[in-house]
Amino acid sequence: MKRPRRLLVLVPALLLLALTPVARAAEPPDYFQGEARSAVAESAAEELAERYVPIVQLRKEEQPPCETSAEQYQPTSVDTVLGNPTVELQHFADGELHTVRHAPTAADIAGLRGDWYLNLEGRALGDTCVYSRAFRKLLEEGKAPAVTYAHIAREKGHTGFALQYWFFWYFNQFNDLHEGDWEGMQVTFEAETPAAALHEEPAEIILFQHAGGERASWEDGKVQKEGTHPVVYPAAGSHATFYDSAVYVENGQHGSGLGCDNTTEPLRELKLRPILMPNGVRPSGPFAWTSYYGRWGEREKGYNNGPTGPQTKTVWREPFAWMGKQRTTSPRLPGGTIAGPQVTKAFCGAVATASEIINLDAESPVAAAVTVIGLALLIVLFVFVTRWRPVDIDTLWRRRALGQILRAARQFYGRHWRVLVPVALAALVLIGATNLLATLISESSHPDGSGVNLAWADLLEQFVRPVAQALVAAIAIVVARELLRGHEVGFFDAMRGVRERFWRVVGAQLLATLGVIALAITVIGLPFAIRYLVGWAFVQQEVLFTDKSFRDSFRGSLRLTRGRWFRTARVILVFYVIGIATGPILTFALIFTALPLMWINVIGSLVFALLIPFTALGGTFLFFDLSVREEEEGVTPRRSWKVWRPRQFGRISSQRETSRILRPAP
């Protein structure tokens, strides 16, 4: 039986009408849809922040709590400062600093701009141990959790987004000293949302370092990971973040700091808990502190001023543009040197010393001025108050003042450079080979014998290298000896002259080195070590000029310096400083160029080697001077230095000795 066609049309219409209210009732209101989407997005962002939160390796303290060469702090919460009863909120206005509130909270500092300061207990340019002790107390009370602040950053005109991790540090203990510090890192994604980014890997990573950073592809071999978590190395004290354990030499270019950032062992691993920050700044709520544009530390001069928060940084607003301008490498301190001190290591020390003077100037300009003027006067009096003329190197055996010895050694070197430069190159090869052997031994990959290997390496550096240097100096001394006798010699002739008395030259220097070190390590024998360091300075000359035995060469050197110790020490110290410091000083400027640090150290080693004959000649001309004085003035009588005989201590223990007539043995 056929149904009417009207019924066929009516039934679907009625069904549609009946179902329509049900569908509308099932749809949530528009405002609920917005909140749901926001919750889903926030959940994805939190999951993403958890997935890529970095693992930090901190330089471990071995002598807490005030070991400034290690890391005394850790990335933590801003609540270590906010609400802290020892912290004051201060405002600088009308030329004065006013304390506005104690224990300020996030609500108290929200929206503040300009000269506002969160002043912590202590003073950055004072006793910094106050901060390390305060932070240790916060740790013990559970008020300094290991956290990092995660932030989703976008930039107009760039696809994707950056996931930033901000580290808040309680105090900055570097060349610059300041309360509070903000450092961190970011990873970038090509996806448009955190939910989509959960299905892909990051594209790039950059670690924040002072005012700059070092970027890399996520797949770059230098990016260490534990699963999806990058492993990063904040430098001790400065908190600049790096990819590996090393000492990084920063020259101030491209936003890097000036000095050396240390991330070397021993290390301790710290896993951080991410706290997701809202998009943009918030004037209220738990993240009201993001609207604070003042300083997270006390008011101080220059680089010692407290830092501003992350929302004030360019990378917060322009994560991609800023990242694109940063460098892809960080120069690290080379592992060794061919000869002499490492130029780059000396640079680290020089910057640290200069920073201490700058910090002293910020604290007390008068004290800084007195220090600088005092050092300058000391150098002038010690080095430049002397006689410089006349200089006669045709007559080697004569009296000379410090200035005349310096000029005589320089002129003698210039006149006989064809013989002496090969001597310097021999020093470069001999000492370089010794250093290389010590480095290979210390870096041996046998864990069971690592302690023994390090001991052997130390032995080479403490004894073999000075002996190698002494051999090269002996060649220069032989050149001077033969010229004194009226004989012109070449390099190989000088080597034969040393070979004839090789064991005495080596043995005398080795015994002198061992003796001084043995006295110094007893602590109580340190004054005697200093005395004999100068008194035994001419054992080589005694062996090579007078053909003395071990025992007589030591006695002869002591006799020569008796009564003339301070004069001798002055000349020896000046030549020592010239030999050690000239290479680093001349090559410091190269650190500010693109020249690799390894080659800078090579140049410094070459300068050091070229100066070995010069310093040996300086000691030889001083030997001539003291010998002539001994002939003319006689030998100063000995005094008793036996502390167990107080009645005789410091008194003359022998009659005045007869002067010896010293001439080079044929």
In tens, the pLDDT along 415-449 reads 888 888 888 888 788 777 777 777 677 666 444 44
pTM of the model: 0.76
d(CA 654, CA 651): 9
pLDDT at 173 over 90: yes
Higher-pLDDT residue of 357 and 187 is: 187
The last residue of one of the domains, among 324, 356, 371, is 324
Higher-pLDDT residue of 152 and 380 is: 152
Q: Are residues 305 and 352 in the same domain?
A: no
What residues contact residue 210 under an 8 Å CB cut-off, 6+ apart?
A: 238, 240, 250, 255, 256, 257
Q: Are residues 547 and 430 in the same domain?
A: yes
What residues contact residue 79 under an 8 Å CB cut-off, 6+ apart?
A: 143
Q: Are residues 306 and 437 in the same domain?
A: no
Contact (Cβ atoms closer than 8 angstroms) between residue 117 and residue 306: yes
pLDDT at 36 over 90: no
pLDDT at 659 over 70: no
In tens, the pLDDT along 465-514 reads 677 777 878 888 888 888 878 787 888 888 888 888 888 888 887 788 88
Q: Over 39-89, what HEC string results?
A: HHHHHHHHHHHHHHCCEEEEECCCCCCCCCCCCCCCCECHHHCCCCCCCEE
Give the pLDDT of residue 652: 56
Give the pLDDT of residue 649: 58
Q: Are residues 438 and 350 in the same domain?
A: yes
Q: Are residues 318 and 408 in the same domain?
A: no
d(CA 280, CA 345): 43
End-to-end distance of the chain based on CA atoms, in angstroms?
Answer: 146
Q: How confident is the model at residue 101 (pLDDT cuts 50, 70, 90)?
A: very high
Q: Are residues 271 and 381 in the same domain?
A: no
pLDDT at 650 over 70: no
Higher-pLDDT residue of 364 and 150 is: 150
User: What is the domain extent for residue 183?
Assistant: 34-324
Q: How many domains does the chain have?
A: 2
Q: Are residues 52 and 134 in the same domain?
A: yes
Percent of the chain clearing pLDDT 90 (strictly above):
45
Region 316-345 average pLDDT: 83
Q: In which residue are the tokens 């929206």 written?
A: 111
Contact (Cβ atoms closer than 8 angstroms) between residue 53 and residue 229: yes
What residues contact residue 357 under an 8 Å CB cut-off, 6+ apart?
A: 368, 371, 372
Contact (Cβ atoms closer than 8 angstroms) between residue 423 and residue 612: yes
pLDDT at 14 over 80: no
Q: Are residues 315 and 355 in the same domain?
A: no
Contact (Cβ atoms closer than 8 angstroms) between residue 324 and residue 314: no
- CA 459 from chain centre, in angstroms, equals 25
- What 3-state class would DSSP assign to 284? coil
Q: Are residues 216 and 355 in the same domain?
A: no
Domain-located, residue 649: no
> Looking at the DSSP assignment, which residues form a beta bridge with residue 172?
178
Give the pLDDT of residue 653: 53
Q: Are residues 242 and 131 in the same domain?
A: yes
Q: Output the six-digit token pair for 259.
A: 């000095």
Q: Of 120, 129, 175, which Cα lies nearest the Cα of 299? A: 120
In tens, the pLDDT along 43-100 reads 899 999 999 999 999 999 998 889 999 999 999 999 999 999 999 999 999 899 999 9
pLDDT at 454 over 80: no
The DSSP H or E segment spanning 526 is helix 526-535
Rg (CA), the chain: 35
Q: How big is the CA angle at 132 (ends 184 and 97), to the nearest 5 degrees?
A: 85
Domain-located, residue 380: yes
What is the phi/psi pair of residue 260, to 5°?
Answer: -125, 125
In tens, the pLDDT along 527-537 reads 888 988 899 99
d(CA 235, CA 185): 14
Domain-located, residue 18: no
Domain-located, residue 10: no
- Exposed/middle/buried for residue 657 (C-beta within 10 Å: 0-12, 13-18, 19+): middle
In tens, the pLDDT along 615-648 reads 989 999 999 999 998 888 876 666 655 666 666 5
Average pLDDT score over the chain = 84
d(CA 634, CA 612): 32
In tens, the pLDDT along 263-309 reads 999 999 999 999 999 888 899 999 999 999 999 999 998 889 999 99
